[in-house]
Amino acid sequence: MLIAIDFGISNTDIVVNDKGAYKFFSHPTDEKINERFLEKIFSYIDIPADNFSLIGVTGGKSSDLSDEYHNVKILKVNEVDAIAMGAKSIFKINDGLPFVAISAGTGTACIYNDNGVTTHLGGISVGGGTLQGLSKKLFNEDSSATLEKLSLAGNRTNLDSLIGEVVNDIGSLHPEITASNFEKAKYSDDHSNSDIAASLSNMVGEIIGTISYLNALLMGVSEVFFIGRVANLEVVRTGITDRLALANIKGNFDSQSGFGNALGVMFFLNKES
């Protein structure tokens, strides 16, 4: 068996390969990345470490781990390479095809892969952590499931000013595109938690979508591939795709994208074993 572990800021994602059958686990990243946390992970998945022939890790301070755990070799994978190979594995990207992948997790990272060579294009500090942190401060809620439910029930236009409301036509901008996030909040404090959640989720999506299409245009590609959980929140995804549409860039999403980095590590484990 093989095990791939991605130590994220909020979640530690785990993929187990048992003779070609994949099992997926997720655990809060609630401790420092050390042997004690590894013990917790193996206890959580209820599979002893010595059942594995190889352990792969990425993210966090995983490079500080020893090279072995319970006499099992630890393969340390650069997070940039894990993002690239995770996207390649999930979306079945053809060999040799240049692509941009966006890791939308607690924060957001952008990478470019050209014929197996991966470049970190940069990143932004806005992501799922932003959504949860601001929601906690504004209406004391940070559960992703609850935020998703609230945002779907809300109406962001009660807080956001749209292009069609404030200016005449600007180039190709549609009237429904946001002109200013939360602009209407300055006129009133009487807004529902649902409207706030909808506006926040959309804002995070728009920011991620903007950095995504700018990097796609920079690298000369017509589509981007998303991994990470936040891009699978419906209102966030709508914000992303609305921004991508401004530049005619296609966004690709998948239900397994939350395990993208761990699947990228598994790509290297499969090669090594």
Do 268 and 12 form a contact (C-beta atoms < 8 A)?
A: no
Residue 28 resides in a domain: yes
pLDDT at 217: 98
* For residue 176, pLDDT beyond 90: no
On whether residue 146 sits in a domain, the answer given is yes
**CATH code, domain carrying 173:** 3.30.420.40
Residues 6+ apart with CB under 8 A from 250: 222, 223, 224, 244
Q: Is residue 67 part of a domain?
A: yes
Catalytic residue among 31, 35, 68, 79: 79
Whether residue 92 is contained in a domain is answered as: no
pLDDT confidence of residue 271: 93
Same domain, 56 and 169: no
Same domain, 135 and 253: yes
* Angstrom distance (rounded) from CA 15 to CA 197: 31
- Grade residue 169 by pLDDT with cuts at 50, 70 and 90: low
239 and 128 housed in the same domain: yes
Same domain, 252 and 142: yes
Tokens linked to 272? 């090594």
154 with 243, same domain: the answer is yes
In a domain, 175, yes or no: yes
**Would you give the DSSP letter of residue 95?**
T
pLDDT, position 170: 64
- Domain assignment present for 117: no
Closest of 62, 84, 82, 60 to residue 74, by C-alpha: 62
pLDDT tens digits, 197-248:
999 999 999 999 999 999 999 999 999 999 999 999 999 999 999 999 999 9
Give the contacts of 145 (CB within 8 A, at least 6 positions apart).
Answer: none
Give yes or no: residues 69 and 131 share one domain: no
Distance CA 206, CA 107 (A): 14
Last residue of a domain, one of 52, 76, 100: 76
- As a whole number, mean pLDDT of residues 150-174 equals 85
Picking from 19, 46, 76, the residue at the C-terminal end of a domain is 76
Q: How many CA atoms lie within 13 A of 130 on its CB side?
A: 20
Q: 168 pLDDT exceeds 90? A: no
The Cα-based distances of 158 to 62, 77, 118, 238 in angstroms read: 44, 45, 42, 17
Count of structural domains within the chain: 2
Q: Could you identify the residue written with the tokens 């991994």?
A: 227
* DSSP symbol at 160: P
Q: Is 79 assigned a catalytic role? A: yes
The answer to whether residue 179 is domain-embedded is yes
Specify the pLDDT at position 147: 96
pTM of the model: 0.92
pLDDT of res. 171: 62
- Nearest-angstrom CA–CA distance, 112 and 119: 5
DSSP 49: G
Band (175; pLDDT cuts 50, 70, 90): confident
Please report the pLDDT score of residue 23 as a whole number. 97
**What is the band of 48 on the pLDDT scale with cuts at 50, 70, 90?**
very high
3-state class (DSSP) for residue 16: strand
- Do 168 and 70 belong to one domain? no
Are 207 and 132 found together in one domain?
Answer: yes
- pLDDT grade for 31, boundaries at 50, 70 and 90: confident
Contact 103, 118 (CB under 8 A): no
Is the confidence at residue 77, as pLDDT, over 90? yes
Residue found under tokens 């952590």: 129
- H-assigned helices in the chain: 35-45, 79-91, 128-139, 144-153, 163-166, 193-219, 234-246, 260-272
Q: What's the Cα-to-Cα distance from 61 to each of 12, 52, 81, 145, 266, rounded to whole Å?
A: 12, 22, 16, 28, 18
Residue 172 — very low, low, confident or very high, per pLDDT cuts 50/70/90?
low
What's residue 120's pLDDT? 97
pLDDT above 90: percentage of residues in the chain? 88
* Domain assignment present for 100: no
Q: Cα(266)–Cα(255) distance, rounded to whole angstroms?
A: 18
Do 249 and 139 fall within a single domain?
yes
**Same domain, yes or no: 155 and 254:** yes
- 58 and 171, same domain (yes or no): no
Identify the domain containing residue 56 by its residue range.
2-76
**What is the spatial distance between Cα 182 and Cα 104, in angstroms, rounded to a whole number?**
22
Please say if the pLDDT value at position 94 is more than 70: yes
Cα–Cα distance for residue pair 40/63, rounded to 1 Å: 18
pLDDT at 183 over 70: yes
**Do residues 138 and 244 both lie within one domain?**
yes
